[in-house]
Amino acid sequence: MPTVKGDGMRGLAVFISDIRNCKSKEAEIKRINKELANIRSKFKGDKTLDGYQKKKYVCKLLFIFLLGHDIDFGHMEAVNLLSSNKYTEKQIGYLFISVLVGASSDLMKLVIQSIKNDLVSRNPIHINLALHCMANVGSREMADSVGGDIPKLLTSGETIDSVKQSAGLTLLRLQRSSPEMIPLGEWTSRIIHLLNDQHMGVVTSATSLIEALVRKNPEEYKSCVSLAVSRLSRIVTASYTDLQDYTYYFVPAPWLSVKLLRLLQNYPPPEDASVRTRLTECLETILNKAQEPPKSKKVQHSNAKNAVLFEAINLIIHMDSDPNLLVRACNQLGQFLQHKETNLRYLALESMCLLATSEFSHEAVKKHQDTVITALKTERDVSVRQRAVDLLYAMCDRSNAEEIVGEMLEYLESADYSIREEMVLKVAILAEKYAVDYTWYVDVILNLIRIAGDYVSEEVWYRVIQIVINRDDVQGYAAKTVFEALQAPACHENMVKVGGYILGEFGNLIAGDPRSSPLVQFQLLHSKYHLCSPNTRGLLLSTYIKFINLFPEIKSSIQEILGSDNNLRNPDVELQQRCIEYLQLSTVASPDVLATVLEEMPPFPERESSILAKLKKKKPTATAEGGEEKEKEQRTIPQAQVNNAEPSAPAPLPTVNNLNTAPSGGSSGGAVVDLLGLDTAPAPAAPASSGLNFLADVFGDQPATNGVDDDALTPGAEENFKKFFCKQNGVLFENDLLQIGIKAEYRQNLARVGVFFGNKTTFQFTNFTSNLVLADSIKSAVSVQPKAVEPVVEGGAQVQQLFNIECVDSFSEAPLLKISFTHTSQVQKLNLKLPVIISKFLEPAEMNSEAFFTRWKALSQPDQECQKIFKAQFPQDTEQVKQKVLGFGLSILQGIDPNPDNFVSSAILHTRNQQVGCLVRLEPNKQMQMYRLTIRSTKPEISKALGDLLETQF
Amino acid sequence: MMQFMLLFSRQGKLRLQKWFSAYPDRAKKKITRELITLVLARKPKMCSFLEWKDLKIVYKRYASLYFCCAIERDDNELLTLETIHRYVELLDKYFGSVCELDIIFNFEKAYFMLDEFLLGGEVQETSKKNVLKAIAAQDLLQEEETPQGFFEDHGLG
């Protein structure tokens, strides 16, 4: 038995020894029960126990509880100990309460009374016991009844340091559990100034409190930024002897440094230039120190130093504003990628993921691609490999997608089971996102199924089918490839599903080749039929009926299969029904009817990839749960291939649900409408014409659009869009949920457009996506580099999405901003025009009258001029018109037009390919309330585009 | 913030548990079981950090004892390793080369020490001197209070 510190409790030590000597679980339980009986009798006995005995028995109960046994008595005795005037008895009492008494206990009132008494005891050591208990239990009741005294204790000049430290963190705990209970308004300034306290321990504790308060109310605590920066600066520049015991293995105050760096991550880069410079210096110093030779070989030294370094890098990434720091951070992490310490490699991979999302450091991260791929192949710890996968995913872009996807596919063959499913999703997403050539995409997905078929979730194979159906340039290739893949003697059931579906739709595209003639296709599929689950069989049956339409010549072979005993009397009701119905359909329907019912699937509406949604939902349980997660829901048999022939049966693909609600969805394809009868209301021509349809679209669970009007603008979008012709900043859209603001800067042919999404509700938006879609007509004229937005927008929060746009050539259509998100489980979609129009790339030009007329005359070919005569929409106020002309990007040239009411302007249009001079004349006729607008430029399409834009503004 | 800290032996016996947020007893037992299995299964050279549910686990082994902390997403893993180390140093200094048995027999002291070092899941005092001074002050009070029932205190007491 080891020595017991202090006076100890001998009886407790003896009891613990006894327990340890027990040879079996049964013996232990027996011994414990004996002890419990003993304690119970002591507590019940008439003889009053003295404080020491009570303490000892309470402590024994605590020990028994910590062994994992339930304790249902002794609480009252513990509470009695709280009011003892002996410190050790009080201390054990509080310990028992902290460990064993829940916040909801009936005894809490008594406990709180004791806490109150101790808080006013003026004995710091008792005050601290009470504070520790509050911090450990942290109940609302405590916050309510005693919490109000804590801020005073924390900030009073009379309080000793150790009590201040405990008070700070106690207040933090109470704030967390019941934020509204303790109003801190009047204390704000004093709390912030704790950052300046002499005592490092007080600052250490206060910084945590302040960070928590800042998260709730950043504006109120804003002044903490400069104090935190100066405190940090003093620490990082201190020598390791300056801070005495707060230096940890030659690293000055690592805990406080990290807390300060975290505090600063709640704010944007400091506005004040001197504070900002000082912070940059701090961060540079921390980066510099990482390059210095270590002051100690101990791992504690390097851990503490690197802890500060990683936190500094987090701050650099958070600020995302200083390219120099970002690149330095990236280089530093690059060194760690090959460090001998596994922990550092792990963290470097993790941090680099964040760096990869910054536009400044994305390229720098890509330099480490080979190292990361090596890590994926050679790391021995699966959790490190997981990080490598994450990083490859984050650093992937169009330039390296093929290589990264290739490496991930290769690794997948030997990857740990625990991370396979996630990898499959990631590969599928990357392949789709960066596919230039969709045959490559089809190859990748089929490879996924071949290599890791079990981990290919439904979302993945649904998606490949959606894409093949929507892109007619890959349909033939897809049919050929699945046909070849199905030749393998053992192919995965998912391959059979994809193969069945695709051949059912597009088998005709390869039927010309005798090696894949209709009969061969059918026999190949049917050779897999008996090995498949009922789900897949159902799908194959649908393929067969589609074959009857595609290939009438094999109708009899298929009817034979449909009519076989095995199928017609199949114990599986769904299969039986399909066979009967399909057989009947093929017999009674005329070829025309068959062709209509079994027509090729209409394109799927473009939505957010369902795979992406799945990845977002997926929790990082890969390393923890391991093994298999059987969460296969009961699915109905896929039958989407048949255009709604049986409206009662649910469709398998989430995206085709609309087909079953076709009467409201409308225009999903002629076949559906024909089948359901002619009384179906036609789809609304334009959503703007019908407010109700708009509501159904935006607020409905499944938008009532189905591909055709998916691109239609949200009502009001056009009006707001026009407001931006003569200004750069403003509100582009607003409804009850969301406000979208625009802030744009243009320089020559370059634009930097910030789109701000403000969540006006108190609930978060999930699956938030915002994508810029360029119409085919302007794809080559505009180049866009979007930054992704986080999928979650918290209630009340605002997020920014930045687009770097380059004008390559003249264009006449604005890019479409497609936004979609889920709010209180409702899917919301918005289609807005981004006010990036050709006139934004105009630069006003000055010239004298002579130069103007020379050029005007030089541009006299009829197609170089665009003239418009139109009625004034707005009052013809000279000043307002002037502002609009200037806002549009034109100059106002004086003394050229003899009529002073007329406006004459010139400008240069910048595109990457060329610069085009433009001359403009605007003649108001106030009597008629009309305008005549004349534009001349060397390029007819530019004259016209500018004319169309300007016409709307006056 | 740190959510909880668990100390357990190589044999999987829980030696100390500190919960900084309120968890129901049943959840505590389940989490403890899961984590002990998870951490004991890891090989020596492996990374000290792992993702677990929406938390990060940071663990380190000292002789026969594992120290295992659960921290939140944005907490600093490396620093948590040193938080563990500082706690070990404190125990070591106090007990004089601490061993598992010291923590078993003086579990209440281990708790008191932890309360001085971490509070509400955050580091309160990083100075070793200051923490030990606070504990020494407690011990001093303890010695002044003479145990009355000392002589009866044998066997089952």
Give the pLDDT confidence score for residue A609 in this predicted structure.
67
| pLDDT exceeds cutoff 60 at A626 | no
pLDDT band per the 50, 70, 90 thresholds, residue A103? low
Of A464, A456, A396, A395, the C-alpha closest to A423 is A456
With 0-12 / 13-18 / 19 or more C-beta atoms within 10 angstroms meaning exposed / middle / buried, residue A309 is: buried
**Are A624 and B52 spatial neighbours (Cβ–Cβ below 8 Å)?**
yes
The tens digit of pLDDT for each residue in A256-266 reads 999 999 999 99
Give the pLDDT confidence score for residue A621 in this predicted structure.
39
d(CA A788, CA A767): 12
Residue of B nearest to A342 (CA): B47
pLDDT band per the 50, 70, 90 thresholds, residue A761? confident
Assign a CATH topology to domain A705-836: Immunoglobulin-like (2.60.40)
| pLDDT exceeds cutoff 80 at A267 | yes
Give the pLDDT confidence score for residue A675 in this predicted structure.
29
Q: Parallel, antiparallel, or unpaired: how do β-strands B49-52 and B55-62 relate?
A: antiparallel
d(CA A659, CA A732): 33
Give the pLDDT confidence score for residue A550 in this predicted structure.
92
Residue of B nearest to A70 (CA): B25
Looking at residue B101, the DSSP 8-state letter turns out to be H
- Confirm or reject contact between A258 and chain B (CB < 8 A): yes
Report chain B's C-alpha Rg in angstroms: 17
d(CA A703, CA A844): 44
pLDDT band per the 50, 70, 90 thresholds, residue A638? very low
Give the pLDDT confidence score for residue A860 in this predicted structure.
80
| Lowest mean pLDDT, pick from A93-107, A671-685, B91-105 | A671-685
The 3-state DSSP composition of chain B as helix, strand, coil percent (nearest 5) reads: 45, 25, 30
Give the pLDDT confidence score for residue B147 in this predicted structure.
54
Give the pLDDT confidence score for residue A104 in this predicted structure.
66
Give the pLDDT confidence score for residue A8 in this predicted structure.
65
Of A785, A816, A778, the C-alpha closest to A911 is A778
Q: Contact B128/A245, CB-based, under 8 Å?
A: yes
Nearest to B79 among A86, A92, A307 (CB): A307
d(CA A672, CA A73): 71
Average pLDDT of the residues in A459-470: 90
Residue of A nearest to B58 (CA): A343
Q: What is the dihedral of CA A126, A131, A132, A135, to 10 degrees?
A: 170
Highest mean pLDDT among A542-546, A781-785, A903-907, A938-942: A542-546
Residue whose pair of structure tokens reads 């404190």 in the numeric block: B90
What letter represents residue A424's amino acid? V
Residue of B nearest to A10 (CA): B153
| pLDDT exceeds cutoff 90 at A226 | yes
d(CA A662, CA A654): 14
d(CA A755, CA A661): 35
d(CA A37, CA A400): 72
- Confirm or reject contact between A242 and chain B (CB < 8 A): no
d(CA A380, CA A366): 23
Return the bridge partners of B67, or none.
B7, B60
| Residue with the larger pLDDT of the pair A557 and A786 | A557
The tens digit of pLDDT for each residue in A730-754 reads 888 888 888 898 888 888 888 888 8
Average pLDDT of the residues in A290-313: 95
| pLDDT exceeds cutoff 70 at A4 | no
| Residue with the larger pLDDT of the pair A283 and A820 | A283
Of A810, A916, A936, the C-alpha closest to A864 is A936
- Confirm or reject contact between A858 and chain B (CB < 8 A): no
Give the pLDDT confidence score for residue A529 in this predicted structure.
93
Residue of B nearest to A208 (CA): B122
| Lowest mean pLDDT, pick from A196-210, A711-725, A922-936 | A711-725
A60 annotated as a binding-site residue: yes
Walk across the sheet containing B14-19 and list its strands.
Answer: B14-19, B2-9, B65-71, B55-62, B49-52
Best mutation target, A88, A174, A265, to test chain B (most B CBs within 10 A): A88
d(CA A238, CA A251): 10
| Tokens, residue B89 | 């140093």
- Confirm or reject contact between A256 and chain B (CB < 8 A): yes
Residue of A nearest to B124 (CA): A205
Query: Same CATH topology for A705-836 and A839-951?
Result: no
- Confirm or reject contact between A600 and chain B (CB < 8 A): no
CA distance A626 to chain B (A): 10
| pLDDT exceeds cutoff 60 at A684 | no
- Burial call A370-396: b when 16+ CB within 10 Å, e when fewer: ebbbebbeebebbbbbbbbbbbbbbbb
Q: Contact A307/B139, CB-based, under 8 Å?
A: no
Looking at residue B45, the DSSP 8-state letter turns out to be T
| pLDDT exceeds cutoff 60 at A549 | yes
Which distant-in-sequence residues (6+ apart) come within 8 Å of A586 by Cβ? Answer: A545, A548, A555, A558, A559, A562, A594
A384 annotated as a binding-site residue: no
Give the pLDDT confidence score for residue A7 in this predicted structure.
54
CA distance B64 to chain A (A): 16
pTM given for the model: 0.68
The tens digit of pLDDT for each residue in A325-374 reads 999 999 999 999 999 999 999 999 999 999 998 888 899 999 999 999 99
Give the pLDDT confidence score for residue A668 in this predicted structure.
35
Mean pLDDT, chain A, whole residue set: 84
Q: A208 contacts in B (CB within 8 Å)?
A: 1, 120, 122-123
Mean pLDDT, chain B, whole residue set: 90
| pLDDT exceeds cutoff 50 at A694 | no
A10 annotated as a binding-site residue: yes
A42 annotated as a binding-site residue: yes
Domain limits, chain A? 1-41+50-98, 190-292, 320-395, 460-470+477-605, 705-836, 839-951
What is the percent of chain A where pLDDT is above 90? Answer: 45
d(CA A92, CA A52): 10
The tens digit of pLDDT for each residue in A308-337 reads 999 999 999 999 989 999 999 999 999 999
Nearest to A169 among B74, B119, B142 (CB): B119
CB pairs under 8 A between A and B: 227
Give the pLDDT confidence score for residue A173 in this predicted structure.
94
> Under DSSP, is residue A919 helix (H, G, I), strand (E, B) or coil?
strand
pLDDT band per the 50, 70, 90 thresholds, residue A5? low
Element (H, E) at A935: strand A930-937
Q: What is the DSSP string of B35-96?
A: HHHHHHTS-TTS-SEEEETTEEEEEEEETTEEEEEEE-TTS-HHHHHHHHHHHHHHHHHHHT
Beta strands of A774-898 (E only): which ranges? 782-786, 798-807, 816-823, 826-833, 842-844, 865-871
What string of H, E and C letters represents the secondary structure of A581-603?
HHHHHHHHCCHHHHHHHCCCCCC
Nearest to B45 among A304, A310, A342 (CB): A342
| Residue with the larger pLDDT of the pair B130 and A951 | B130
| pLDDT exceeds cutoff 70 at A654 | no
Highest mean pLDDT among A235-244, A527-536, A861-870: A527-536
Assign a CATH topology to domain A839-951: TATA-Binding Protein (3.30.310)
**Are A782 and A808 spatial neighbours (Cβ–Cβ below 8 Å)?**
yes
Q: Contact A621/B148, CB-based, under 8 Å?
A: no
Nearest to A170 among B16, B112, B119 (CB): B119
Cα angle A70, A71, A72 (rounded to 5 degrees) comes to 120
Q: A176 contacts in B (CB within 8 Å)?
A: 120
- Confirm or reject contact between A932 and chain B (CB < 8 A): no
CA distance B10 to chain A (A): 16
The tens digit of pLDDT for each residue in B86-118 reads 999 999 999 998 999 999 999 999 999 999 999
| pLDDT exceeds cutoff 60 at A893 | yes
| pLDDT exceeds cutoff 90 at A663 | no
**Are A789 and A757 spatial neighbours (Cβ–Cβ below 8 Å)?**
yes
